[in-house]
Amino acid sequence: MKSVLIVAIISILVILGILVATQNPTIVVSTQDQSLNKVDCETFHKNSLLMNCNLKGKDLRYTNLSGSNITGANLDGADLTGANLSDVDLSFTSMFGVNLTGADLTNTDFTNSILVGSKFNGAHLYKTLFINSNLRNATLVGVNLEYADTSGAILP
């Protein structure tokens, strides 16, 4: 019965155009108004669909969100210290003052994102995309941008 309900919910989301194709999504959320205050962030997993979510100020330290789609989300002031964000789509996100210290950002897409005042200290930035992103006043201590794409980005 539970699997039938899950299939029905996913079918409705597909019809509404909320769910996009991804490999084995474990969490499907798409909202602009809901702040997820009652959601336990420890239940987030890799390949999550969190488009347009309000994750402002959330404690997401050491969370594994690899392969997730978090496009258009608000992560202002969130703590993503040590998080695994490899292969994550964070394009068009608002990330003012986010702590990404020690985070794995390999192949992460920050295209057209606002990263003003964010901390990337010791983060892994291999093949990270910062195309047209705003990194003004961001801290990038102990990082290697050699293979990152900063085309059109506003750098610190």
Residue 35 tokens read as 């702040």
Per run of 10 residues, the mean pLDDT along the chain (length 156 residues) is 53 45 42 43 67 94 95 97 97 98 98 98 97 98 94 95
pLDDT at residue 95 in the model? 98
In this structure, the number of other CB atoms found within 10 A of the CB of residue 34 comes to 13
Residue 2 lies in a domain: no
Q: What is the pTM of this model?
A: 0.74
CATH of the domain at 67: 2.160.20.80
Cα gap 61→99, rounded to integer Å: 9
- Number of structural domains found in the chain: 1
Domain range for 57: 25-156
